[in-house]
A and B are shown apart, each in its own frame.
Chain A
């Protein structure tokens, strides 16, 4: 512990000490003692990551590969309690307007230079706040980062931002080496394709379209970890090909449900393969139906309620997602234990009630049995959305709504929905991220109605009451008060129904049983894999 100056004392006295002693020991208590050194892990990823540094691009595959090379300030257990990584401890000032990190001393970058608080300050101010898609919003309140010494970084905030504490895992907010990035454009720095990190594995080779090779970092701060000699990421574009590679024991691990879901049960039955669905809490993916509230039938909340009563969410979960998920109760994934609430209005399957609501809203069945026609643009992201589209066409047909399904590629979809606003109904999924302020607020906040920005408030839901609740969760440092505001927010979201949440998804990790310790934290296979070992 550094000596306690007067200034530090003030800090500590006023601070909420989150971590300090308990987590100072770096070995997780659940790590199995008999970890074996050596071996190569073959990990299948698809699509190919655009870059290998999450600090500048948070695409899903990048978030799987890059944390093996970069540690974050902290990591999280399954209940979102913070655990030290590059930060040994942290204190949030009691006005919520400063966050102090004591950094782990003696950590080196892969090129041998020292990791210091200057790297943290640079990454936050010059990379996350500028080049990071979500970071610009997450860290918007951070005005400066003080670095009184090499192992201390103090974030200064214009107003409290409690969600920052949940955005610090490596996959989300990665610390890059200042000495490599300073004075360059972070987005086009060559190191984005051949990173120099602090993490347990070093970059070796990226053969585009084929594979990425990482090797053990012998100077990693957490000896004797990492246990693996090498990680090979293989890029296999065909879903059937990925399943075959697992089955033929050519690959050890495939995450993020990128093996066909209808194949998972068959593969799981093989003696050497197994399934894990934990470790996606940090992503918390939820699928939604979204309405265009600017269009006529959907201006009336009764129409939205009728749709909710017409869609059988447990059937959607069972038949479309093969049971890998739970029927959604509300807009926030149940895995986000610090904000989720189940005390919300429910819309059980009830066709008669749906018909009544539509009649009352002034949309009676016409002679041909149809009340009105709408279009449905689903997010073109895999087979499940095609099926979902087909199901919705049937389900809504039962209450007299004729649906025209429109298929297109992603860029066309994003432009049509968010820029041209030429849609009635959409289906999509999105990650709630580690905190709903980062991942859910965007759909409900009036200030986030931004034409041209995908996954913004595309419904154009404008509610002063919702804005008020969101302002509370954005700034309330007290966890209980914040959770209460989240509960109100979820209740309101399910009352006004600008979106119908459909499924709280489980992602599937299929792995060869010889791979141990791959899912230990809320970021699961997106963690650094220092603890992973092979036991044949």
Chain B
């Protein structure tokens, strides 16, 4: 673990600098958008005089020159203060922490399901390569890969909620319900089925295709032949020797795609009224709630950087030939 410690010590300052640089770029980019929060607030409430708008800008600090705003923002970030959302009348940290668990649950479940199903389908397709099973899996993967997430979501609602009446159309739990313990967990699980499926299907398709290709390649290598020669069945050789090597590309992809999945999460959260952070970010863009948006972007930055770090560690664990350097 000593090596791990040294590795972390070297990566951490790098990571912080990267995060700060990204925060600065975000700030500048977001301020390039035309219009500000006051325009949005005033438009919504039909504010009729200029003085009112000026008052609000002064109160929100939007009347300051941009470099001053940037410096005070960076100073706040260094102090881990995410600021105040005047739109929501709440501290940004409270808003984010309130909404983050829903998105983490959705994304973790979707990634888990995508990896599990992707690996199972990919391995199955490779095992029965060029048979009917392989073709069915390939066609399904292509369909899922090409179908927009929101459309799948709406079609699932039509089928499972309206036609069959099995699942609730939206939300994360029965609102105002009195369920507790196991019943509450089951309630959330029922609400999760469609959002998780909708979010994961694209990735299932992707991972299945990649897994199939990787397995076919690994299965052709000499060491698998050696494993078979020492008496393992095809299945045993595939599981114990081919799978750990073939799964590496998927680990890489998951690491890269966590940020990407956040984009899909916005659509899924919209279709299923899932109270997550993707939706919060999306609305913050249109409302020019820059404090909130910067907070969410900073958090995403930290999340992506952390996950990439974990993926590096996972590599080393899966394949001892890879060294942390």
Contact = CB atoms under 8 A, between A and B. Distances in A.
Given A193-B89, A236-B170, A409-B286, 18 more contacts: A58-B45, A134-B47, A136-B52, A210-B171, A210-B273, A211-B175, A211-B176, A213-B176, A234-B273, A235-B273, A245-B169, A248-B165, A250-B169, A409-B35, A411-B34, A414-B35, A448-B48, A453-B42
B175 to A, nearest CB: 5
B49 A234 contact: no
A410 B43 contact: yes
14 contacts: A57-B44, A193-B89, A208-B88, A236-B170, A237-B279, A238-B150, A238-B271, A240-B154, A241-B154, A241-B169, A244-B161, A244-B162, A411-B287, A415-B34
B272 interface: yes
Given A237-B279, A410-B40, A412-B33, A456 B59 contact: no
B158 interface: yes
B280 interface: yes
A412 B44 contact: no
A480 interface: no
B99 interface: yes
Contacts of A430: 46
B39 interface: yes
A232 B52 CA distance: 33
Interface string A47-61: 110110000011110
Contacts of A314: none
A172 B288 CA distance: 25
B90 interface: yes
A137 B49 contact: yes
Contact of A208 (B99, B169, B270): B99
A208 B286 contact: no
Contacts of B287: 411
A207 B275 contact: yes
Interface in A267-293: none
Contacts of A235: 273, 275
A456 B47 CA distance: 9
Contacts of A60: 44
Interface residues of A, number: 62
Contacts, number: 176
Contacts of A419: 39
Given A208-B88, A244-B169, A411-B36, A133 B158 contact: no
B174 to A, nearest CB: 10
Contacts of A410: 35, 39-40, 43, 286
Interface string A131-151: 011101100000000000000
B95 interface: yes
Contacts of A414: 35, 39-40, 43
A431 interface: yes
Top 5 nearest A-B pairs (CB, nearest first) are A411-B35, A133-B45, A209-B275, A133-B47, A210-B275
Interface residues of B, number: 56
A264 to B, nearest CB: 16
A132 B158 CA distance: 42
A40 interface: yes
Contact of A188 (B89, B161, B171, B176): B89
Contacts of B43: 410, 414, 454-455
B197 to A, nearest CB: 16
With most chain B CB atoms within 10 A of its CB, the pick from A193, A240, A430 is: A240
Interface string A146-186: 00000000000000000000000000000000000000000
A207 B170 CA distance: 15
Interface of B: 33-36, 39-50, 52-53, 59, 86-90, 95, 98-99, 102, 150, 154, 157-158, 161-162, 165, 168-172, 175-176, 269-273, 275-276, 279-280, 283, 285-288
Contacts of A517: none
Nearest to A230: B176
Contacts of A57: 41, 44-45
Contact of A40 (B41, B42, B46, B176): B176
A236 B273 contact: yes
A208 B100 CA distance: 12
A459 to B, nearest CB: 16
Contact of B288 (A51, A250, A411): A411
With most chain A CB atoms within 10 A of its CB, the pick from B49, B170, B286 is: B170
Contacts of A245: 169-170
A248 B169 contact: yes
A39 B157 CA distance: 26
A323 interface: no
A126 interface: no
A210 B177 CA distance: 14
Interface string A35-51: 00000101000011011
A210 B34 CA distance: 29
A412 B273 CA distance: 26
A420 to B, nearest CB: 8
A180 to B, nearest CB: 14
A320 B169 CA distance: 28
B40 A134 contact: no
B152 to A, nearest CB: 13
B65 to A, nearest CB: 18
B273 A47 contact: no
Contacts of B273: 210, 234-238, 241
A237 B281 CA distance: 13
Nearest to A414: B39
A248 B161 contact: yes
A305 interface: no
A287 to B, nearest CB: 15
A425 B16 CA distance: 48
Contacts of B39: 410-411, 414-415, 419, 454
Nearest to A53: B89
A446 interface: no
B176 A247 contact: no
A50 B170 contact: no
Nearest to B98: A208
Contact of A59 (B35, B44, B48, B59): B44
Contacts of B33: 411-412
Interface in A42-94: 42, 47-48, 50-51, 57-60
A240 to B, nearest CB: 5
Interface string A109-121: 0000000000000
